[in-house]
Amino acid sequence: MNAASLLTAFFLAALSLGAVLRLWLAYRHYRHIGAHRDQVPFAFAASVPLADHRKAADYTRAKIRLSVALLVCETLLLLAFTLGGLLDWLDRAWFGILAARGYAHGLALFASVAVIGFLVDLPFTLYRVFVIEAHFGFNKMTWRLAAADFAKQAVLAVVIGAPLLLAVLWLMSAMGERWWLYVWLFWLAFNLLVMLIYPTLIAPLFNKFSPLEEGDLKTRIEALLERCGFAASGLFVMDGSKRSAHGNAYFTGLGRAKRIVFFDTLIQKLTPPQVEAVLAHELGHFRHRHIWKRIGVFALATLGLLWLLGRVIDAPWFYQGLGVGTGSTAMALILFVQVLPVFLFPLMPVASGLSRRHEFEADAYAARHAGAGDLVAALVSLYRDNAATLTPDPLHSSFYDSHPPASLRVARLRDCAS
């Protein structure tokens, strides 16, 4: 068996095993939530009515059913792109039109893949928003607003994505054997730039941000920021209610461009002490440098993966093993992006575990600076109002959940309060 055949066999094995594992985890999660649907966990019995607990179970199970259908379609699409020959056909079709495999060919190839992926994903997105979210009372999105969002995203993809891709393809072609290092530096700089400009240039394209009004909440927040030594360029309220009834809070940006943002739905549902506790949790991420740690892990992982792509980009077996007859810079990048998640899926528990550890650290920080009881009350209210399941399957949670299960999280906070 030659190298191309080995890669094909390895890819099919990883794809099949990954799909089976995901389906099995979804099945476990679905059954586990159903088995606990009719009884509120003891820790939440006094604060979450049975009707709300059942709603959360039904909501989560509806999303699981949709995710299973999407998984099947995405797996089939990946097979069609690679071993099914769709990428190879697109490559030859654009070569026939453009008569060269240059930058225009690469852009056209990426655009074709993006459009096909968007069209396959679109029915699932619309079903989630206008059927599932609407059925459970969360959707506030109109068809007109959804169309406007899609149009804005398409414009951003062209205005930002096309020059970015062109720069990456140029670096891959012009920088010699160590192109991967230059691409990594450029990609890292681009991501930092996006983090810097997102709050003021990109986010306002989709939502309205208003300064937080004077009052008890603002006074509390400013006192919390002073206690925590956190400097922000402003406190803002986002009109999240025009799309969804879900609530949240976050801070965004870098350096002097940092902003603290509250969903209007969050302010409407929580008391000022509870909102303060939620923000204290977010500040805990900042104080423990979780964002910079994640950026560091992301940077190192990206560097290693680009180095790996540099080792196989000129190998004919890499293309042939994934169903492509003629290699090119753009095709190498597309194949790598397409198949990489298949091989990285077993690492998901590691990434999720690290994220959950960060959440516990941020909770502990919030308990010290805003009160564990207020954060518990806020979390219980958010779990209830957002219909988040209180009884996830433990194994499914270990793979997918970036936040600890509700019972463990609340138990630790109550220990801090006692």
Percent of the chain with pLDDT over 90: 63
Q: Nearest CA to 407 among 379, 385, 386? A: 379
> Of 70-79, 204-213, 214-223, where does the model show the most confidence?
70-79
Catalytic residue from among 91, 133, 276, 363: 363
Banded pLDDT at 256 (limits 50, 70, 90): low
- For 357-414, the pLDDT digits (tens) are 999 999 999 998 888 889 999 999 989 988 899 999 999 999 999 999 999 999 888 8
- For 304-361, the pLDDT digits (tens) are 999 999 999 999 999 999 999 998 999 999 999 999 999 999 999 999 999 999 999 9
Mean pLDDT of 123-146: 92
Mean pLDDT of 82-98: 95
Rounded Cα distance, 169 and 10, in Å? 28
Active site includes 214? no
Question: How high does pLDDT run on average in the chain?
Answer: 91
What are φ and ψ of residue 195, in 5° steps?
-60, -30
Q: Is 58's pLDDT higher than 90?
A: yes
Catalytic residue from among 276, 282, 385, 393: 282
Rounded Cα distance, 195 and 290, in Å? 15
Q: What is the pLDDT of residue 259?
A: 79
Rounded Cα distance, 127 and 129, in Å? 6
Q: Is 88's pLDDT higher than 80?
A: yes
Q: Is 193's pLDDT higher than 80?
A: yes
Q: What is the pLDDT of residue 236?
A: 87
- For 268-307, the pLDDT digits (tens) are 888 989 989 988 998 898 889 898 899 999 999 999 999 9
Q: What is the pLDDT of residue 99?
A: 86
Q: Is 229's pLDDT higher than 70?
A: yes
Q: Nearest CA to 402 among 345, 357, 338? A: 357
Residue bearing tokens 């960060």: 358
Mean pLDDT of 31-58: 94
Q: What is the pLDDT of residue 255?
A: 65
Mean pLDDT of 26-49: 94
Residue bearing tokens 């654009």: 94
Whether 184 and 303 have beta carbons less than 8 Å apart is answered as yes
- For 61-78, the pLDDT digits (tens) are 999 999 999 999 999 999
**Alpha helix stretches (DSSP H) within 345-371:** 348-366
Per domain, the residue ranges of the chain are 3-176+326-347
pTM score, two decimals?
A: 0.90
Q: Could you tell me the CA-to-CA distances from 250 to 236, 266, 412 in Å, in that order?
A: 10, 11, 22
Helix, strand or coil for residue 254?
coil
Percent of the chain with pLDDT over 70: 98
Q: Which contacts qualify for 410-413: CB closer than 8 Å, 24 or more apart?
A: 410/43, 410/44, 410/376, 410/379, 410/380, 411/43, 412/360, 412/363, 412/364, 413/363, 413/367, 413/372, 413/375, 413/376, 413/379
Q: What is the pLDDT of residue 328?
A: 92
Banded pLDDT at 417 (limits 50, 70, 90): low
Residue bearing tokens 């919030």: 366
Mean pLDDT of 203-224: 87
Active site includes 133? no
- Pairing mode of beta strands 235-238, 249-252: unpaired
| Residue 322 burial (C-beta neighbours within 10 Å; 0-12, 13-18, 19+) | buried
Q: Nearest CA to 124 among 115, 132, 116, 113? A: 132
Q: What is the pLDDT of residue 310?
A: 94
Whether 317 and 3 have beta carbons less than 8 Å apart is answered as yes
Q: Could you tell me the CA-to-CA distances from 68 to 22, 26, 81, 123, 354 in Å, in that order?
A: 8, 7, 20, 14, 26
